[in-house]
Amino acid sequence: MRCPNCGGIESAVIDSRPSEDGLSIRRRRECSSCNKRFTTYERHHESPLIVLKNDKSSEPFDREKLLRGLMIATAKRDIPVSKLNHLIDDVEAEIRNTMKSEVRSTTLGDMVLLRLRDIDDVAYIRFASVYKDFKDLDEFQAALKGMG
């Protein structure tokens, strides 16, 4: 595993434990070159999930892309990244439990919004405004009214 600090390729595992969701292993490592510590996660390799987009194209499910969107929606809010990762883990697990390898982007977005609403109202509206692609103020106001 390459060290994110110095790029060294030798490291020692200091601690290993299952993640909270039980779907990955969390490992604390120490770089042999610079002695800095860093964390890695190992996940079981599963068949890729495919997201079916509205324009009829498809793309592999990308945790990092979803996390980036959630980070933008939660900017300047007091929401830890671990909570966002847990949200993504929960959504991915629900999709995989359906035993389907494809999910519509609208279904994925709705699953995220459902969970985000319980975390933070402002982040919910921010994410919804991009995901739902509000065309005017009336659509935005309708989303706000739907929250109450």
pLDDT single digits (tens) 48-85: 899 999 899 999 999 999 999 999 999 999 999 999 99
Domain edges within the chain = 1-45, 46-147
Please say if the pLDDT value at position 43 is more than 80: no
For residue 89, which of 37, 18, 27, 39 has the smallest C-alpha distance? 18
Q: What is the pLDDT of residues 103-148, one digit of tens each?
A: 999 999 999 999 999 999 899 888 988 877 777 777 777 767 766 5
Alpha carbons 5 and 36: distance in angstroms, whole number: 7
Torsion of CA 148, 78, 61, 92, to 10 degrees: -70
Q: Output the pTM of the full model.
A: 0.65
Spatial CA neighbour of 62 closest among 98, 105, 100: 105
